[in-house]
Amino acid sequence: MVEKIKEEKIVITGAGGMLGSDLSRVFPRAISLTHKQLDITDRDKVFLKISELKPDIVINAAAYTNVEGAEDEKEKADLLNSTAVLYLAEACRDTGAILVHYSTDYVFDGGKKTGYDESDIPNPLNAYGRSKLGGEQNILRTMDKYYVLRTSWLFGKKGKNFVDTITRLAKERSEIKVVDDQSGCPTFSYDLAMMTKNIIERKCPFGIYHVTNSGSCSWFEFAQEIVSVQKIECRVMPCSSKEYPSKVVRPKYSILNNNKIEKMPEWNDALRRYLSLKM
C-alpha cells in the first residue's frame, strides 16, 4: 500500500491492539508505539515523548475496552480512557499536533431508535461509557485541532471480538442463544483505520465524527450472519438480554448515524472480508 501522507510525522499510541495494529498497516511510515513503549497514563512520559518526537498528528488507539470489567475497575477505566486522554490532548496542544481519538456508541443511552447524530447529547448508562465520554470532554475542553471518531461493535484480526467468540461457540455447540433486543453497527477495524486515513488526508474539518460500517443489526442478526457465512452447522436462537443478567446496563439502540463523511462499506460485506482472512 502506497501512503500518500509522506510529509507529516504521525505517531500511533496503543499500536499493539486490534485497531492500533491495523492503523500501523495503513500508516506504515508512522511511529507505532505499544503500551510498553509508551504508557499514556504516565503524564511525564507522554509529555517527554511528544516533545521529543514533535509529531504533526497523534492517533490514539490505546483504551480500556472491557465493558464489564469497567464496572469493577472504574478508576482504571477512567485513568486510561479519560485522564490519559487529557495528557495526550495537553501534549498535542503544546506542540501543535493534531489529535485523533476513538470513542464509542456507549456514550449514548440507547433510547433513540432512529440512531444518534454527531450533535446528539451523550448520556452513558455504564462506567465504560462514562469513561469514554470523559475522554471526549477532556479533548474538547483542551484543544481545537482534534478528530474524535466514535465507532461501535469493533472486530478485527488482533484481540478478542464478537465474531471470533460466536465462531468458536457455534463450532462447539449445536445451538446458541444471542440477544436480539440490542442494536448497533458492527465495524471492521481495518475499515475504521482506512477511514481515519481518509479523514486525515482530506483535511476534514476538526470535530466529532461517527465512523462505522454501514447498516445496523441486532447481536442476534450479527451472530446469524457470522454462522451463515462460514456454513457452520449451528442453530442461532434469539433471546432477551434478561436471560443473561449482567452488571452492565447496555444501550438498546446504539446506532451511530454518519452525517459528515461518505458511507463506509456495509457491515456484512466487512464481515465477509474479515472472515476471508481467517479461512
CATH number at residue 19: 3.40.50.720
Query: What is the pLDDT averaged over residues 92-114?
Result: 96
Give the SS3 label for residue 134: helix
Q: Is 206 left (phi over 0), alpha (psi -120 to 50) or beta?
A: beta
pLDDT tens-digit profile of 207-249? 999 999 999 999 999 999 999 999 999 999 999 988 877 888 8
Q: Taking a C-beta distance cutoff of 8 angstroms, is the pair 256, 210 a contact? A: yes
3-state helix, strand, coil split of the chain in percent (to 5) is 40, 20, 40
* H/E segment holding residue 154: strand 154-155
Q: For 147-197, write each residue's pLDDT tens digit.
A: 999 999 999 998 889 999 999 999 999 999 999 999 999 999 999 999 999
Half-sphere exposure of 271 (CA within 13 A, CB side): 26
Spell 38-56 as b/e; 16+ CB within 10 A means b. Answer: bbbbeeeebbebbeebebb
Tell me what pLDDT residue 279 has: 59
As for how many domains the chain has, the answer is 1
pLDDT of amino acid 243: 81
CA 148 to chain centre: 11
Does a structural domain hold residue 72? yes
Q: Sign of torsion, CA 227 66 266 110?
A: positive
Q: Residues of the chain with pLDDT > 90: what percent?
A: 91
pLDDT at 248: 86
* In a domain? residue 272: no
Q: What's residue 2's pLDDT?
A: 42
The pTM for the full model equals 0.93
Residue 235 inside a domain? The answer is: no
- Enzyme catalytic residues: 128
The single-letter code of the amino acid at 14 is: G
Give the structural domain span for 43.
10-161+187-213
Q: Is residue 47 part of a domain?
A: yes
pLDDT digits (tens, 9 = 90+) for 33-58: 999 999 999 999 999 999 999 999 99
| Contact present, 79 and 31 (Cβ < 8 Å) | no
Q: What is the mean pLDDT of the chain?
A: 93
